[in-house]
Chains A and B, each alone.
Chain A
Amino acid sequence: MSGSSGQSVLRQAVEGLLRARADAERGLDDVTAWVTRAALRPSETARAGRHPLARRAADDAAMPAGAMPGALAALSAATRTAIATEVHALLSLLAVDHHQLPPLPPLDARPLAGPGDRAFLSAFSEGFARSYVATVLGDLSSGRPTSKADAAAHPGAQQATIDAARDRIVAAVEPEHRALVRAWLSHPDCHAVEIHGPQVGDRDLELRAGWTRPPDHGAEGADSWRVRDDGKVVSKHQVMVDAGAFTSADAFVRPLEAFMTVARRHPDGIEGFLRDHSVDGVAPFFINAQLGRLAPGDAVAHRGAGTGTPQAARDWVRMRRDAMKKDHECIAPVRTIPYDPIADGPDPGVRLVFKRGEDGWVMVTYYPSDSPAPDNQRLEDIT
């Protein structure tokens, strides 16, 4: 059911309205002719939304567009209020069961008299509504979509390029660790180089976050992924809202060296360390950027736009799934944002997971991240 009021459609309408508001704010500082267009544009954007509330917002926003130049301030306040009112209504639907009474505390229209993101935000009640609008609003200007066709046309990875990156990484490791690291990074269940290595380009990351396209697509052992003739993106590749990579072999190696320095102090060596810090054969670590000697520029990533709260992130993932559906049933592509997880993250570092297999410990994942996931073991707590 590609319903008229699905979750992903609601979320998309919220983004559309907030973008329209940003356009209107910018435009309203400009000449009068521009004003009319600026106020009409949000209405057009909103009209494109499939939800009836979004369409109603369109009419509300279009109405003040005929106002005289002297009424600029009133016009901008009216536009903001119309948009805020509908965003609030959509958030109520995003927040809870459609069949209950409006559960979100009501909008406070007073701050909407003045311009600016801060005033706009303060109209929404603290908690779910304000954090949700804040994360979407905060990412509005920098997010951009890629088309399905872009994703399909992007050239595949060359095995030789991946192998060369692995060789450079191994060469950057301390000589006594080289054999072990090569074994870890060459295991068929390890895709650390394939997906997070320095050969992975910015576009690869953008398409991984936007369409779950694996950066090693086309190379041997990559998760299956394709855009079918009917426009459906069929993917076995798993990714949450973030796709990141190290920018050099040297950057890739530094946190790993920090890990091995700690791990090999164990009386039984790295094996013993993994055994003692695993539960049921899985050992998840977080190596903070300082310990891993990572600096801004050592990693690059793309993340979903407006994913700053767990609920907003969940809605974004759902929007992506919806965008990946067949041509006649999908919604517009999701937006992603390039960022530096080390420079921009609140608690940056590297997530590293080992898993015990039949043939010993396998490094199943290793990637730069803006923060640890809940209950990842922090390496500094173990040392």
Chain B
Amino acid sequence: MAEKLSMYLAFPFVQNTLIVGVLIALCSSLLGVVLVLRRFSFIGDGLSHVAFGAMAAAAVIGFSDDMPFILAVTIICAVILLKSGRNSAVKGDAAVAMLSVSSLAVGYLLMNVFPSSSNISGDVCTTLFGSTSILTLSENDVRLCVILSAVTVILFVYFYNRIFAVTFDEEFSTACGTNAKLCNVFTAVITAVVIVLSMKLAGALLISALVVFPALSAMRVFRSFMAVTISSAIISVSCALAGMLVSILAGTPVGSTIAAADMIMFAVFFVMGKILGRR
């Protein structure tokens, strides 16, 4: 097995996969803690469907590089979703469901009415489940992923205290002088960026596994925000790495293998939490 693995690791596209996969898993886990605590666990799913719809629209319009368009549309929808508060006509979860299903439907409709490739089912399958998309990254994709991941991690670390305050008590942090609205917009932008990147790794339908499972696993055992954040990052990176290596060796789809690894880790931490008497 070691010989087989070293054979695969000699290929540049496999090295790129591991680097990008680890970075994406790290960013998703940091974001996941904030989203889970703010009861926006399903926003990852919703925004990934928006990104799918934007991808279909970009193909119809004929953009050579669709990433800026997808990022722009997803960021706008993320800001709209995360800003919808208690007084909005359509509440958070309903807004997510509405946008999510509309984007998926419109996206698939556009792909069928204006096909840009001869294998629509294959393209849809790859985008939704992330079977080989992380293994077929171009040099530009790798560069963009590395830059955006680095920016996300740096901004999260720099604004950690403000994110912490707004996550637990938005009104109190506003009263203390924190610009909570700006913080929410910043969270929305980072969410959109991480979701669009994560689609390459796990696919649109399995993205929630990357975002939600590491945070929930950490919360089974750890109590403090800092401990949950750090352990969530470690869990996410470990599961992504394990999932990618199993997928490479066994020939399984990458996205679902990583999601399965996250699920197993959650079960382990759930049992650990019960044994330690946490919850």
A and B associate in one complex:
no
